[in-house]
Amino acid sequence: MIGWLIRLSKGYRWRILLSIILGSLTIFSSIGLFGTSAYLISMAAYQPSIAVLQVAIVGVRFFGISRAVFRYLERLVSHSVNLKLLASLRSWIYENLLSKFPIRNEELSNTDVLNVLIQSVDVLENFYVRLFSPVVVAFIVSISTALFFGLYSLELFLIIIFGLGLTGFLLPGLAENMGKQAGFALEKSRLVYKEEIASFTESYQELSVLQASDRIMDQIYLVEKNWAKQKNRHNFLQSLFSMLSFYSTQGVFLLVLVVAAGLVMNQSLDAVMMAVLSLICLASFEAVINLPVSAQLLGDVRAAVNQIRKLELSDNSKPVIKHTYEQPISFSDGVKIKNLRFRYFSSADDVLSDINLQLSPGKKIAIVGESGSGKSTLLNILLGFYPDYEGEIFINGADGHQISDHQKRDYFAYMSANPYFFDTSLIQNFQLANPNIEENTVNHLLDQVGLTHLPEERIQTVKEFLEGGVQFSAGEFQRLDLARALVREAEVYLLDEPTANLDPLLGKKIFRSILNQLKEKSAIFVTHQYFYMDHFDEIIVLYKGKIIEQGKHQALLDRKGYYFQLYRAHFPEISHNLSH
């Protein structure tokens, strides 16, 4: 775990080294300040000449100023390093999200991802500032202080080694061991609580109708109570080790004072040096006194790292593809799919198998079939979301694996079955698809999808657009996404359920409008609606991930196979004529 974080900081090693040096100099300045102050006060008791005290006076001033300067520089450099490390960590997370999703989105929920992006990264903010750098500085200061005490007495050397080792390493080790379980339990309870709150918020309407909201709120209360219990346990351990650290520091200070007093009585040590060594001992513990509490954070850091590393690529995740096709992609040869086969990493069964089709320029293909037959998955493969397929996909003669996702999405326009609009103006949402789109064009497209009946204050093309489009009905929201897809200047349009949530009359009107709008373009329609099927150049029927029928509308009806059954079920009023 520590090694992974250190590898992530590879590009900042010199800055980290500078931060550690400045941190060590800050503690040494504190030790020098305490030592020279003790020497000055003790020597002043003998009432010597001011010349005797001059060096000590200058030393106090020097160490006082240098401590402030080194502390400022150390904070400046260490926090700069910390922010850069967090930036690298966030870049690493987003790179893995982009290369991993949606291929493994069944492993991590949206709450998990949000927790990684916010909570887990915030926890790792403590790693460098409160764990890594302080431990290294404490080691340097401990060794240096022990060697300095060893110049005066072996007993003092052993006491300092024991005291700094106890406070700086043994107690932190115990705190880390006890805090590991507490950290994992706290992280887990926090995540469960967030999942429960998110689930309750999203499903409140259904829960209210089912009269189950009170029961779910009782469950949330128990989850929150468990989270509070884990937080109290975590805070208790922090307080406990903070207390043990304080008392160990004071105990070692008293022990040094007693041993030094004995050395003075034996005339093995000057009385002035007794005070100097005692305060140096006390000052040196500044480097280690917070380590037991910080070590307990290692459990939190470990839990956060485990959560973050769920995003890391594995054998089952999205493969790294080297894109070698850099030329602009035209559409003169269209799209060819040969023997396509695909399964999700967690599934033993194929989602798609033996898929063969060709989309030439201007061709319109409709893909129909029962829910779960792989229709939407096929579109996602073409868009590059599922690159670990078997078989071949050629785009203008180039292997799909050698074409970057950016190039693919540059000429594919896509309408999702589950659209999302950002919390900004409607025109800005349309500009995501086409930055050069103008308001009059947007209004024309809204007319094409039948949204001109809405009052101006509901269209809100340049006004505030509520997150998720909640002021629109499901059908209106679907048509907004269709209009956004149509603003793309693309060669191929992939439309997933373009007339879902629409009544049959409006669905027919919108379907006809789409076909007219895309007259010269290539398009793949995934649909459960069977309007104007005779206008498609080819209809592909999927069943359990396989193409079981393929051809034109009338030919498929004449065959009286599975497509015939689907079409007859959709239009029962003409089923008698079809049968004859």
Which tokens in the block code for residue 482?
Answer: 């269709």
Angle at 298 between CA 295 and CA 301, to 5 degrees: 150
Distance from C-alpha of 180 to C-alpha of 426, rounded to nearest angstrom: 48
- pLDDT (tens digit, 9 = 90+) per residue, 344-353? 876 778 889 9
Strand partners, 398: 395
- pLDDT (tens digit, 9 = 90+) per residue, 190-205? 878 888 887 888 787 7
Distance from C-alpha of 504 to C-alpha of 452, rounded to nearest angstrom: 19
- pLDDT (tens digit, 9 = 90+) per residue, 445-471? 888 887 765 555 444 543 444 444 446
Helix (H, G, I), strand (E, B) or coil at 180: helix
pLDDT band at 116 (very low <50, low <70, confident <90, very high): low
SS (H, E, C) 263-330: HHHCCCCCHHHHHHHHHHHHHHHHHCCCHHHHHHHHHHHHHHHHHHHHHCCCCCCCCCCCCCCCCCCC
pLDDT band at 62 (very low <50, low <70, confident <90, very high): very high
Question: Around 406, how many Cα atoms within 13 Å sit in the side-chain half-sphere?
Answer: 5
CATH class held by domain 1-314: mainly alpha
- Is 3.30.360.10 the CATH classification of the domain at 335-574? no
Contact (CB, 8 A) for 408 and 383:
yes
What average pLDDT score do residues 221-245 get?
Answer: 88
| Lowest mean pLDDT across 129-133, 259-263, 550-554 | 129-133
Compute the mean pLDDT over every residue in the chain, rounded to the nearest whole number.
81
With a cut of 50, say whether residue 568 has pLDDT above it.
yes
With a cut of 70, say whether residue 558 has pLDDT above it.
yes
Distance from C-alpha of 459 to C-alpha of 44, rounded to nearest angstrom: 84
- pLDDT (tens digit, 9 = 90+) per residue, 200-224? 887 877 788 788 888 888 888 999 9
Residue of higher predicted confidence among 103 and 71: 71
455 closest CA partner among 446, 106, 290: 446
With a cut of 90, say whether residue 27 has pLDDT above it.
yes
Q: What is the pLDDT of residue 505?
A: 81
Angle between helices 291-308 and 171-202 (to 10 degrees): 40
With a cut of 50, say whether residue 277 has pLDDT above it.
yes
Where along the chain do the CATH 1.20.1560.10 domains lie?
Answer: 1-314
Q: Pseudo-torsion of CA 483, 484, 487, 490, nearest 10°? A: -110
Distance from C-alpha of 415 to C-alpha of 479, rounded to nearest angstrom: 10
Contact (CB, 8 A) for 36 and 272:
no
| Backbone φ/ψ region at 548: left (φ over 0), alpha (ψ -120 to 50), beta | alpha
Which tokens in the block code for residue 278?
Answer: 């005692």
Cβ contacts of 245 within 8 Å, gap of 6 or more = 167, 171, 288, 289, 290, 291, 292, 293
**Beta-carbon neighbour count of residue 560 at 10 Å?**
12
| Start-end of H helices in 101-212 | 110-115, 121-126, 133-150, 154-165, 171-202, 204-209
Distance from C-alpha of 370 to C-alpha of 548, rounded to nearest angstrom: 12
Helix (H, G, I), strand (E, B) or coil at 543: strand
Angle between helices 13-44 and 133-150 (to 10 degrees): 40
What average pLDDT score do residues 37-46 get?
Answer: 90
**Beta-carbon neighbour count of residue 246 at 10 Å?**
14
Distance from C-alpha of 377 to C-alpha of 400, rounded to nearest angstrom: 16
Compute φ and ψ for 541, nearest 5 degrees: -105, 120
- pLDDT (tens digit, 9 = 90+) per residue, 384-415? 888 888 899 988 888 888 887 777 777 788 88
Tell me the one-letter amino acid at 517: Q
Where along the chain do the CATH 3.40.50.300 domains lie?
Answer: 335-574
Contact (CB, 8 A) for 111 and 195:
yes
Which string of b and e fits 263-284 if b means at least 16 CB within 10 Å?
Answer: beeeeebeebbbbbbbbbbbbb
**Beta-carbon neighbour count of residue 212 at 10 Å?**
12
- pLDDT (tens digit, 9 = 90+) per residue, 159-178? 999 998 888 888 888 887 87
Which tokens in the block code for residue 269?
Answer: 């040590």
449 closest CA partner among 468, 470, 411, 475: 475
Which tokens in the block code for residue 341?
Answer: 């086969």
